Amino acid sequence: MPDASGSPRIATVDVVYLARLREAFGTTGEALALPSLPLVTVADVLAQLRSRGGVWAAELAHGRAVRIAINHSMVALDAPVRAGDEFAVLPPVTGG
């Protein structure tokens, strides 16, 4: 949706990388600009991260075990993502 000047609004989310992903990506997190779509989903954000290529594409490839939490709640790929959300990317928890 455009702002008053007619430019598309770009919203950001705070992306947090946890566990092995923090090490693989070399960062604990970042502010990520969202695409200017009517509705942005978890799948859209993951596709944007994958498009960076390299380790991003490998770690977030379809079929790799990662989970997403928005604002501390686990969500599905079709969940909406809104400006200001905390978008956490984490591997599944294992252990005994």
pLDDT, one tens digit per residue, over 44-80 is: 999 999 999 999 999 999 989 899 999 999 999 999 9
Cα 91 from Cα 35, distance rounded (Å): 25
User: Is 45 a member of any domain?
Assistant: yes
Measured from the Cβ of residue 36, the count of other Cβ atoms closer than 10 Å reads: 13
pTM for the full predicted model: 0.85
Question: Cα-atom radius of gyration of the chain, to the nearest Å?
Answer: 14
From residue 29, give the alpha-carbon distance in Å to each of 88, 90, 95.
9, 12, 25
For residue 51, the enclosing domain spans 12-90
Number of domains the chain is built from: 1
What is the tens place of the pLDDT at every residue in 15-30? 999 999 999 999 999 9
User: Is 2 a member of any domain?
Assistant: no
Residue 81 corresponds to which tokens in the numbers above? Answer: 């993502």
